Structure 1
Amino acid sequence: MGVGKSTVGRRLARRLALPFVDSDSEIEDAVGLPAGEVFERYGEQDYRDGERRLVARLVDGQVRVIATGGGVFVDPRTRALLNERTITVWLDAPIDVLAERTGRRDTRPLLKTPDPKETLQRLAEIERQAYAEAHVHVRSGDGAHKDVVDAIVREIDAHLARRSAA
């Protein structure tokens, strides 16, 4: 949450001349409600089930850049599907940066807690092991989005070179 998946994803898609899709926006379009409200109204389990079905549809077809919700990759079935059919990228940022970014708006149900920064830290600890299975790991922070996109492109190229050498 707050790492910049959508913003960086859009820029990456432009750089690679590929279509871009944001899974949260797709859910909002399908249900007609903001993703946070869908999450609150139907609960995390139903939201994650819908996300899983959506991601399965998104990876079956044209090549594109997909920004998934922060919890998508934690689901073992979805993670396996993404790692099998796509090049997965873990955007990683320090908790202080995430707390500052997510604190700008009150639209994230999981952060409606007395201590959102502590919640982010707890979620990061839970999700880190799953995210470590991504093909590419790029750190981001306060720097320019262009620098993050450049790093992703370099890491994807390196990943593809390793894969073709194997």
Structure 2
Amino acid sequence: MKLDKIINQPVIETERFVLRPLRRSDQGLIEMYAGDRSVARMTSSIPHPLPPGSIEALIARAQDASRVEDVWAIDGTHTDGSEIMGLISLKRVDTGQSEIGYWVAPAFWNTGLASAAVRALIAANPLESKTVFACVFQDNPASARVLTNGGFQYLGDAESFSVARNAAVPTWTYSLKLD
């Protein structure tokens, strides 16, 4: 029997949910939500259809002590919510700089969950970042609002490859300076 590894990643508590490191037991719910075409299409890294083993590999990477990206489950169980409502991550991109990424399950869209998760992670600043970057697809204005509601400033247009779409997709890039 494999046990979850203990990793050096903080648990971040809010009134509505807890941001916690991923566990092996999260695999089924993450597969269900990330396997949804509408979720995968709005990310650069989730393939659709979701290949077998991909979420198991994601969890293994998230538990690896030498990882460059910390991934948290948005867990609502302490308020009788779902154990997985989405994922949020911080990737180390340079000294003092990180990139935030997130997705929320469709059942929780338009509830303010993504905005609350971004605000909680930024307030905790577990990587002690001085600047946090983010990139969203231009056909996802809801994610852009999450960032602007969180104080992020628009930097410019770019493009990023979407695995689910198998195409380069126009993006908006944002940054947030933390003092």
Tell me the TM-score normalized by structure 1: 0.31
Q: Which has the higher contact order (CA 8 A, sep 6+)?
A: 1
Tell me the TM-score normalized by structure 2: 0.30
Which of the two has greater helix per residue? 1
Which of the two has greater strand per residue? 2
